């Protein structure tokens, strides 16, 4: 662990995630990475896990429930699911599980492409603090971090992953709607 807020080594957490998934994930399960950290992880998992895993990527920018409040993030990516989602076993892959809102958005978007038979969730880090009833099926590391900090996954030019901490963006709360 690094002294920086007790964060685990990202490569060690990825190795732990691979070990937890090996033998448990269907050999034909599609791996769908949530941009951008989840996309990097999905690529690495597809190479490390036994079986033939179709690889896809999803950008949840338009599906987030805070879109109206926080606006569109820069660098929106194109969702790419080059396989039939209907009837598939899908493992959503994300870097950090926190509130559960990105995962909820990814599930909503997946259903626009078809009805999967099963959806599992693999995350590098589960930091707790859930606002929705979403739990990872596979986790590389668990840790607690103050709400005013964000855990950020970075990838070096040679592909090495690392975790860091930065101040969290202030999240505005949408005003409740009043029925008329």
Q: Where are the domains of the chain?
A: 10-167
Residues ≥6 apart with Cβ < 8 Å to 86: 114, 115, 116
Q: Cα(45)–Cα(177) distance, rounded to whole angstroms? A: 42
| Angle, CA 172 vertex, CA 169 and CA 174 arms, to 5° | 150
DSSP 76-118: PPPPB--S--TT-EEEEEEEEESSSHHHHHHHHHHHHH---SE
pLDDT tens digit string along 4-57? 568 999 999 999 999 999 999 999 999 999 998 999 999 999 999 999 999 999
pTM higher than 0.85: yes
- CATH number belonging to the domain at 10-167, selected among 3.40.50.2020, 3.40.50.11540, 3.40.50.300, 3.40.640.10: 3.40.50.2020
pLDDT at 121 over 90: yes
């Amino acid at each position: 662990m690094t002294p920086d807020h007790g964060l685990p080594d990202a490569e060690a957490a990825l190795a732990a995630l691979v070990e937890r998934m090996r033998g448990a994930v269907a050999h034909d399960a599609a791996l769908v990475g949530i941009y951008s950290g989840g996309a990097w992880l999905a690529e690495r998992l597809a190479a490390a896990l036994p079986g033939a895993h179709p690889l896809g990527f999803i950008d949840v920018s338009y599906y987030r429930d805070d879109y109206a409040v926080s606006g569109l993030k820069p660098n929106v990516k194109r969702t790419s699911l080059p396989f039939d989602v209907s009837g598939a076993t899908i493992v959503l892959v994300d870097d950090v599980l926190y509130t559960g809102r990105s995962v909820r958005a990814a599930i909503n978007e997946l259903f626009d492409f078809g009805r999967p038979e099963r959806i599992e969730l693999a995350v590098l880090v589960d930091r707790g603090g859930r606002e929705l009833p979403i739990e990872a099926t596979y986790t590389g590391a668990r840790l607690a971090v103050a709400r005013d900090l964000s855990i950020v996954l970075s990838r070096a030019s040679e592909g090495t992953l690392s975790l860091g901490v930065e101040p969290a963006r202030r999240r505005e709360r949408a005003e409740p709607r009043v029925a008329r």
